[in-house]
Amino acid sequence: MIFQQLINGLMLGANYSLVAIGYTLIFGVLGLLHFAHGEVLMAGAFMGFYIILWTDLPLYITLPLTMIATGALGIIIDLLAIRPLRKDFHLAPLLSTIGVTIILQNLAVKLFGGYGTRFPDAIKDYHFKIGSLFISSINILTLGISIFLMIALYFFISKTKIGKAMRAVSESHLTAGLLGVNVDWIVLLTFGIASALAGASGVMIGLAFHAISPFIGLTFALKGLVVMLLGGLGNVLGAMIGGLILGMAEVLAIVVLPTEINLQDIFSFGIMILILIFRPTGLFGTRITQG
């Protein structure tokens, strides 16, 4: 029972990680809390929904297509809502991302309705029985995809030239520019990558929970924030591990403290408050972008 819950927790947590990585990457390069990041995830869930519904393409095509589309959405958000304000006082871009949140959410309600939508089964869900355990193949698959994406990202930022430029920009725009890095371009790319990860997460959440709504962004955005704080601002490795920890902790909290009310969220945000009080730099320190 506990083991089964742990798999669920890891699956949930890996999605928190993907969201938190996006936050932390963007925070790294711009020092900005990108409020609309959860809405990008929501947009990804709906894009995946319609791709599956209309085209019946297999998941291994749907997922990359969605990532490209949400990546583009992220880039547009930077170009239209953030870049023009970057030189203004520092709250302006933050407020602007809140504006984007409101726009995207209302647009989604208008287009898709305010109620939950059943997410189509793009892949068949098998339930393995190992001993007394039931394990869902979708959970294993989404966990596998998330971990693959995280490893790929980690390789990208620690080993490739452009990944290193991204870390340089997250240390200092001035220094990076003087080394020949086109800082604006790297910031755009960062938005693209962060948003592509959020889009992938949106599709996987749709698959795993079988339902999406215009409001799923908020839940995952808040959890992503908790994880970013847990892992340390700007710390990519911290976000990865932090998400898995939070996911498992939440699921275990349900097992250990069975009640009628939703203790899960109280638990998560309780953790956030404790971290802010006792370890404001997160469990793994702040802004060590490499790890």
Partner 1 sequence: MIKMLSVKGVSSGYGKLLAIHDVDINVKKGEVVVLIGANGAGKSTLLRTISGVLRPSKGQIIFQGRKINGYKPHSIVKMGVVQIQEGRGILARMTVKENLEMGAYLRSDKGAIEKDLVQTFEKFPHLKDRLSQNAGTLSGGEQQMLAIGRSLMARPQLLLMDEPSLGLAPVIVEFILETIHDLREKDEYTILLVEQNANQALDVADRGYVLETGRIVIEGKSQELRDNEKVQRAYLGKTIRSREN
Q: Which stretch binds partner 1 (CB under 8 A): 98-106, 125-133, 176-184, 263-271?
A: 176-184
Which tokens belong to 263? 């203790």
Query: What gap in Å lies between CA 140 and CA 52, rounded to an integer?
Result: 20
Q: Which stretch binds partner 1 (CB under 8 A): 64-72, 115-123, 157-165, 223-231?
A: 157-165
Identified binder of partner 1 from the candidate list 167, 207, 216, 241, rule CB under 8 A: 167
- What is the smallest separation between the CB atom of 198 and partner 1, expressed in angstroms? 25
Q: Which stretch binds partner 1 (CB under 8 A): 104-112, 165-173, 225-233, 242-250?
A: 165-173
Identified binder of partner 1 from the candidate list 55, 106, 137, 172, rule CB under 8 A: 172
Q: Which stretch binds partner 1 (CB under 8 A): 74-82, 225-233, 257-265, 283-291?
A: 283-291
DSSP H/E element including 70: helix 59-77
Q: Does residue 276 sit in helix, strand or coil?
A: helix
Per-residue contact string for residues 59-88; x = within reach of partner 1 by CB under 8 A? ------------------------------
Identified binder of partner 1 from the candidate list 120, 177, 222, 249, rule CB under 8 A: 177
Query: What gap in Å lies between CA 69 and CA 247, rounded to an integer?
Result: 27
DSSP H/E element including 127: strand 127-130
Identified binder of partner 1 from the candidate list 84, 155, 182, 276, rule CB under 8 A: 182
Q: Which stretch binds partner 1 (CB under 8 A): 63-71, 180-188, 199-207, 222-230?
A: 180-188
- What is the smallest separation between the CB atom of 178 and partner 1, expressed in angstroms? 5
β-bridge mates for residue 211, sequence order: 118
Query: What gap in Å lies between CA 23 and CA 234, rounded to an integer?
Result: 8
Q: Which is nearer to partner 1, 97 or 170 (CB)?
A: 170
Give exposure, 151-169, as e/b (b: 16+ Cβ within 10 Å).
eebbeebeeeeebbbbbbb
Contact 228, 241 (CB under 8 A): no
- Which residue, among 95, 76, 98, has the nearest Cα to 192 in the 3D structure? 76
- What is the smallest separation between the CB atom of 82 and partner 1, expressed in angstroms? 18
Sorted by sequence, the CB contacts under 8 Å of residue 228 that are 6+ apart come out as 20, 23, 24, 27, 239, 242, 282
Q: Interior CA angle at 88 toward 85 and 93, to 5°?
A: 45
Q: Which is nearer to partner 1, 75 or 168 (CB)?
A: 168
Identified binder of partner 1 from the candidate list 109, 183, 188, 222, rule CB under 8 A: 183
Identified binder of partner 1 from the candidate list 30, 168, 200, 226, rule CB under 8 A: 168
Q: Give the binding site for partner 1 (CB under 8 A).
A: 161, 164-165, 167-168, 171-172, 174-183, 287-290
